[in-house]
Amino acid sequence: MKRSVTIIDYGMGNIWSVKSALEYLGCNVIVSDDNEVIKDSKYLVLPGVGSFKKAMISLSKSKLDKAILDATLKNQSKLLGICLGMQLMGIKSFEDGETDGLGLISKKVEKLKETKQNIFKIPHIGFNSVKSGPNSILFKDLADKSDFYFVHSYRMLSDGNGIEATAVNGEIFLAAYEKENIFATQFHPEKSQINGLTLLKNFLC
């Protein structure tokens, strides 16, 4: 059966590459900023690039933040946050000051650690190995260490709350997260070739 997936449009997402990847997998994809459409969707994707603060202002102004919370907490919609979308799901970020997030993931968003040797550059750009944990839905049929494409300067840290996957760039950071109907990746599955397509397919199961 063809899955219907709604990509949340709040003006800061890499929407079209995500849309293309989902359509390649045979999904019926809706791009929407309509609160009612979002609340009633079974599968939601929250993409994003850019400033956490600007993104939260946009979500709040359009009341999309409430629609996302209603969908996930009341209607049990499955939500996948990608890159900035994952960070927005945290409790707060320290980018451009301190800004509250959606609170769907009980972790804070902080800048990647600088290193004196400057071996690990910020922003972290390119393919990197992701170590997945046991019992993961997202990483089913993927190798324990698979490569995915990253573009980011901020991250969450792993704390063992939920099913986590990690990567390293100067420090171990959270590369993916899942708990019940909440899913998130710091990397871009839509830009990660076959590994990314496999992960998106797993989210849709």
Question: Mind listing the pLDDT tens digit for each residue in 185-197?
Answer: 999 999 999 999 9
Q: pLDDT at residue 94 above 90?
A: yes
Distance between CA 80 and CA 77 in Å, rounded?
Answer: 10
CB neighbours of 160 closer than 8 A, spacing ≥ 6?
none
**What is the domain count for the chain?**
1
CB neighbours of 152 closer than 8 A, spacing ≥ 6?
83, 84, 112, 123, 124, 186
pTM over 0.85? The answer is yes
Catalytic positions, please?
Answer: 83, 188, 190
**Residue of 174, 169, 144, 181 whose CA lies nearest to 156:** 174
Q: pLDDT at residue 118 above 80?
A: no
Domain extent for 112:
4-203
What confidence score (pLDDT) does residue 1 get?
Answer: 59
CA torsion 156→157→163→166, rounded to 10°? Answer: 100
Q: Give the H or E element holding residue 172.
A: strand 172-179
Query: Residue 187 sits in a domain of what CATH number?
Result: 3.40.50.880
